[in-house]
Every structure is written in structure tokens, then in C-alpha cells.
Amino acid sequence: MGKDLKGKELGIGLSQRKDGLYQARYSDRWGKRKAIYGRNLRELRKQLAEAIAGNEKLSSIKSEITLDRWFEHWMQVYKEKSIRPNTKSQYTHIYNKNISPYLGSRRINSLVKSDIQQLIDRASEENYAYERQNKIKVILRDMLQRAVEDNFIINNPVSGIKLRADKEIKAKSLTLEEQNIFFDYCRNTFYDNLFNVAVNTGLRPGELFALKIEDIDFKNGFIDVNKTLVYQKYLTDDKKEFHIEPPKTKQSYRKVPINSICKIYLEKQLNLKNIISQKRPKQQNDYLFVTKFNTPLNSVIFSGAINTVIRQINLTKPFNEQFEVFSGHTFRHTFATRCFESGVDAKVVQSYLGHASLKMTMDLYTHVTDDKSAMDIEKIVQKGNNNVIDIKRKMA
């Protein structure tokens, strides 16, 4: 028990300093000594009682709260108003699929680094690739960091966790020969215009699907990228629905130039859209690229259209020379590859693609820039050899 300056007993944890200030000390739920101060002894006693009661209450909560309960709290308080509905849906799916079955019933104050590492290892053993493992890590890291900030746990056990798969950063793109073959076979098909615009702009599939006529400035020669169209079942949906979302990042808001080929196919698509709209008056919408039924596009339809062309190509090829199946995103990578091969500056390519950083662009297309560097240096060698030949001829 402490005393005041006159020697009077003040009670457990209370004392008075030489400067006259009263001090109250107690141990928090981590066992750390805390102190509060005040000039008024009665008020200080009240503050001490409230601190101890609050500490006991939080200690009880801390001992009981599970990871599942914390996920609900984290989503409601920290994520609900700051992320898109499709991101929320994705986080919830990954949590329910890869985290909750193994750690959901565990108390958050009982989790240690080895628990998280075993969870990542399990995902790797179940053949989940780098991206899924990283999403698991990102979700848990943010969840538990918020728990640290709210004083429910002392340290974040996700710190230092290793992913068990090498990140594949080489983007799949068509070679010039493959590109020529594909576009020979897709010529005059229903989605020919879409494919040509995709490979000449580098727009993401969702950005292409969201394009409207007012987004295209033919006079100044650019496409205004300001939205994306997603087809997903959000938590508030009964089934999959089309949703307009903002672009992926702030840098994704951009103006992409229209080259002469792209302009031709955009104009052809405008005519096609008018024809479809007249045939399907009940399915009116403002989207430039649509199905034959004038309904919006999604990634499944896009991939199916690509595969239809590839099947036609492979009918003419022997079994050991089959054309490889690719996704709609490959047109974006092919566009970037052709830009680099043509000597377009990396910073300009980044702006076309809407990447958040130059590093992202360079990481994806290092193999392209390396190949071009090798070809460029070989040109110097060839030029040097020609000079040598010319000198020898003059000396002969």
C-alpha cells in the first residue's frame, strides 16, 4: 500500500510523488505495469477502478475471441466501407476455403507463427499457387495487425511467413507468328473486332467489356478508361450479376491512344452494335462490345470465343503442333510485348497498361526487354562485321 506525503495510507497501488501529484499503478492484461496520474485523489481512484474493470473485461474478451469472430469484426469495422464488393466477396471466399476450416475456431491470442506457416504449407500441398498463398497471407496479416492495434494480441504472428511457391512473373504473350495465325482465322468472325481492339490497346478484359461509345474519342484518338465490368455474385446478390466497378488502381484511370488499325475495328464494332441493337430491342444497353444477343460480356464468354478460334486452327495442325490455348488477358500481354519489341519506352508502356508502378511493368516483361537487348546488341555486331567487310574490300 502507498502513502501520501504526510504518511497517510492511500490504498493498494496508490501513492503521492514529491511534486504532489498522485499516482496509481496496476498491471494490464499483458502483465505490464501501467501508471495513471492526477491532482485529485478521488478522481484518480475512480480512474483506477475503471481501468482495472476495463482491463478485466478485455482480458475476458481476449481469452475467448476466435479467429472466425475476429474475421467478422475485421470485415465489418475495417473493410466493409473501404473495399469493393467483389474484393469483399473474394476475401470471404478465401477465408472460408483456406483459413477458417483450419484456424477459425482457434483463439486469436493462441496463434503463433508456426500455425500460420503450416496453413501456407497446407495450401501449397493442395496445389494452390503463389497468388492464392499470398492472398491468404495478406488477409491474415491485416486481420491480426488490427488485433495488435486494438491490444488483443501483442505481436503479429504472420510476420516473416514464407510462401512455398515461386512467383511466376513471366507474362504469356503470343509470338508474332502466333498472332498472325490467330488473326487470320478469326477474321470476319463475330468477335473479330473485340480481339483486334484488345491486342491493339492492352486493355484488361473487364475494361473492354465496360467500354461505352462515349468513352471513345475518335477526334483526338484515344480511349478513356474509367471503369471495369465484373460478373460476380456479391454477398448481397442471389446469383451472379454484372457490376460496374472503378478501375483496378488510380493509375488504371488513363487515356489509351488509338492506332490506325484499332480505329478501323472500333468503327466496325459501332456498326455491328447498331445492327445487334436493332435486332434485339428488348436487350438495350450502352456497352460497345456485347454478345450476339446484345447482352454484356464476361470472361467466360471471352475465353469461349478465343477457344472457338483455336479449335479451328488446330483442325489444320498435327497433334504435336497444336496451337496452345490462352486467356483473354494474353492479348494485353501481347500488346505490351509488341510495344517493347518496337522500342516504346517502358514508362510509356506502363501508362498504356495502367500499372501502379514501373517496377510492376518491368517485372512482367523482363524477358521481353532482355530478348530485345540481345537483338539490339547483335545489330551492333552485324554493323561492325559489315564495316570490316567494307574495309577489306577497299584494301583488296
pLDDT, greater one: 20 or 271: 271
**pLDDT exceeds 70 at position 169:** no
Q: CA of 53: how far to CAs of 12, 109, 307, in Å?
A: 15, 20, 66
**First-to-final CA distance of the chain:** 110
C-alpha cell at 173: 504473350
What value does the mean pLDDT take over residues 353-363?
A: 81
CA distances, 187 to each of 77, 180, 182, 274 (Å): 52, 11, 9, 20
**Higher-confidence residue: 166 or 272?**
272
Mean pLDDT of 109-119: 93
- Please report which confidence band the pLDDT of residue 364 belongs to, taking 50, 70 and 90 as the band edges: confident
Which of 39-53, 54-68, 143-157, 287-301 is the least confident region? 54-68
268-310 tens-digit pLDDT = 999 999 999 999 888 889 999 999 999 999 999 999 999 999 9
Position 60 pLDDT exceeds 50: no
Is residue 83 scored above 90 in pLDDT? no
Residue at grid coordinates 475518335:
218
More confident residue, 53 or 196: 196
Q: What is the pLDDT of residues 243-277, one digit of tens each?
A: 898 887 788 999 999 999 999 999 999 999 999 99
Mean pLDDT of the chain: 84
Residue 153 has pLDDT above 90, yes or no: no
Please answer whether residues 16 and 4 qualify as being in contact, where contact means their C-beta atoms are separated by less than 8 angstroms. yes
Q: Which residue has the higher pLDDT, 65 or 304?
A: 304
Q: What is the pLDDT of residue 386?
A: 52
Q: Give the pLDDT confidence score for residue 29 in this predicted structure.
A: 57
Percent of the chain with pLDDT over 70: 86
Regarding predicted confidence, which is higher, 131 or 69? 69
Which residue do the cell numbers 487515356 mark?
255
Least confident of 46-50, 89-93, 242-246: 46-50
Mean per-residue pLDDT for 32-45?
82
pLDDT at 136: 94
Burial 178-195 (b: 16+ CB within 10 A, else e): bbebbeebbeeeebbbbb
pLDDT on residue 229: 93
Would you say residue 380 has pLDDT above 70? no
**219: pLDDT strictly greater than 90:** yes
Cα(302)–Cα(199) distance, rounded to whole angstroms? 13
In this model, does residue 376 exceed pLDDT 90? no
